Structure 1
Amino acid sequence: MAGGLVALFDDIAVIARAAAASVDDIGAAAGRASAKAAGVVVDDAAVTPQYVRGLAAERELPIIRRIALGSLRNKLLIILPAVLLLSQFVPVLLTPILMLGGTYLCYEGAEKVWAKISGHDHGHGAGEEEMPDEDTVVSGAVRTDFILSAEIMVISLNEVVDQPFVSRAVILAVVAVAITVLVYGFVGLIVKMDDVGLKLAERPGKAVAGLGRGLVKAMPRLLAVLTVVGTAAMLWVGGHILLVGSDELGLHVLYDVVHHLEDAAGEAAGAIGGVVTWLVNTFASALLGLVVGALVVAVVTAVSRARSTGEPAAH
């Protein structure tokens, strides 16, 4: 009896270790998948605060909460089932779809660069004297989030496509929840930073009041930094997706050129070769992203102008 009980405990221990290893594997895979989607995540965090500009301070967090719930519904109820079915039954379409998403990232990044250079930087909702009602704000933000969420989920899926179906589903669900909490938790902190700063600035202590004024001054700078980092990340991630995707589809030229540059730079750098190799790949990916994005911006602009000139004048 004692021997059988010990054997049972051993079996339970083995199962527990296997379960723990499985959880660790899922966590690690979710972390890798989330990291690959970094460019879209940063852009999402940079865009969302624009939607609550001009609204009453007490309504900012409730609106962000509604947008976050809409984002979670997008990811879990629509996008996740779609990408899982796609990966299970038509996996050959994953790379082309991923490259379409990468091209869109390149377009978004290049458009922001062009808007900054040309002086026509359009913010989301910026410059409007009257804000629409909350339902309109939330629905618009959730629609925009759908595009960003779809890119995040497809990029993440590409990192775990070799996993079993159930593990794939769990990993992507973890990514969806974790990224939503991360993005909208961070957004909530950003939009309340100036309110916290104003409260602190009214305190009697000089140090506390100085900290409050510093927070108020830092918010627009933080948003500006997020915009720059988000733009750079979109070009890098989008370009890297196109670089790897073109190689997987049989167009090896660009990938081979970058790979040779990485090897040459890594050997020349010696001890820091790994860092230099990563920098070369990142720069090459971002450059490719900027070139592709600029071409798409040029095409979209030309089509838009053609349509506007072709429309009959209003009487």
Structure 2
Amino acid sequence: MASGFFALLDDIAVLMDDVSVMSKVAAKKTAGILGDDLAVNAEKASGFMSSRELPVLWAITKGSFLNKLIILPIAFLLSAFVPMAITIILVLGGLYLAYEGAEKIYTYFIPHKQHAENKLTKHMSETALLKLEKERVKAAILTDFILSIEIIIIALGAVVNEPLVNQIIVVSIIALAATVGVYGIVALLVRMDEFGLKLINLNEKDDSISDKVGRFLVAALPKVIKSLGVIGTIALLLVSGGIFVHNIEYFHYFTESIPGVLGEFLVGLVVGAVILGLVLGVKKGVKVFRKQ
């Protein structure tokens, strides 16, 4: 009886050791997409009123957890029984990411009414603010859903030849770490200015070290947020381009003579521009049809 108990403990120890090693391998493979995920979600979670930043971020985080709960079991089932479906889902997600990246570039150079209305201002009514917040939270959760698919599929690919139990444990750990790690860092970023103000008010001395650090953090936040917006847009195009290059032979062949990152970015940009053109054309056609 005792020997059986110790044998069970030994099996569990071996399993945990294997899981630890495989988790490190999967984490290395998903490091790039996790960096993209951070940039994209930091940009998505910024721009809200100071008092609403943490509640909004918590709402997005809960949505991210729900995304993982939906994606994980489906990914395991599809990987086991319909592996081709994984590729199809990835490509569809890539199309959306490419479109969103191209749309951001388009609205930056050619601002339009809808883009202007998407900005939160102090002059908006509370009802309008809450409505716009909900819309932006939904958009952030949708983007997180697509990026989560990519993270989970890449992690699953790193352990695809391992026993099912190991796959479930390792990929679940990566999925959990992605949400906690990414949104934990995002929370620190969006509250940087508040922390800076506390440092400035920490003591009554003028030009103390805490004052200098505090002023630096307050001044740096707008630049960090603006930079994350640019990085997030580039990340969307890189992730989408990577999906196309690694899953569609034509794009892989097309980018063979181009450095990896640049090739993936160009593919994402071109595909995004094509989809954006189609969407804008359809919208214009619908407007003309309604006027008739």
TM-score range, shorter chain: 0.7 to 0.9
Farther-moved stretch of structure 1 (108-117 vs 23-32): 23-32
CA distance, structure 1, for counterparts of residue 167 and residue 286 of structure 2:
44
User: Quick one: distance in 2 between partners of 1:257 and 1:61?
Assistant: 44
Q: CA shift at 1:234, angstroms? A: 1.4
Q: TM-score w.r.t. structure 2 length?
A: 0.82
Point out the more displaced range, 139-148 or 301-310: 139-148
Partner of 2:269: 290
1:125-155 Cα distance to aligned partner (Å, 9 max, x none): 4144324489757754553243223222321
Name the counterpart of 1:32.
29
One-letter identity of the residue aligned with 1:213 = R
Q: What is the distance in 2 between the residues matched to 1:299 and 1:306?
A: 10
Q: Is the 8 A contact 2:34 2:182 kept in 1?
A: no
CA deviation profile, 1:90-113 (whole Å, cap 9, x unmatched): 211111211111121111111112
What is the aligned-residue identity percentage?
30
Q: Are 1:197 and 2:196 matched, yes or no?
A: yes
The size of the alignment, in residue pairs, is 281
Residue matched to 2:16: 19
Residues 15 and 191 from structure 1, CA distance in 2 versus in 1: closer, same or farther, beyond 3 angstroms?
closer
Distance 1:191 1:139 in 2: 18
TM-aligned CA deviation for residue 304 of structure 1 = 1.0
Secondary structure at the aligned position of 2:115 is classed as coil
Stretches of structure 1 that go unaligned for 5 or more consecutive residues are 263-279
SS where residue 285 of structure 1 aligns? helix
Superposed counterparts of 1:1-315, under 5 Å: 16-17=13-14, 19-50=16-47, 53-54=48-49, 57=51, 59-76=52-69, 78-120=70-112, 122=115, 125-128=118-121, 129-130=123-124, 131-132=126-127, 139-159=134-154, 160-161=156-157, 162-163=160-161, 164-202=163-201, 203=203, 204-206=205-207, 207-247=209-249, 251=250, 254-259=251-256, 261=257, 280-312=259-291
Does the 8 Å CA contact 1:153/1:172 hold for their aligned counterparts? no
Contiguous gaps of at least 5 residues in structure 2: none
Calculate the TM-score normalised by the size of structure 1: 0.77
Q: CA RMSD in A?
A: 3.1
Say whether the 8 Å CA contact 1:34–1:179 is kept in structure 2. no
Give the 3 Å change call, closer, same or farther, for CA 175–144 of structure 1 in structure 2: farther
Q: Output the amino acid matched with 2:110.
A: S
Letter in 2 for 1:95: T
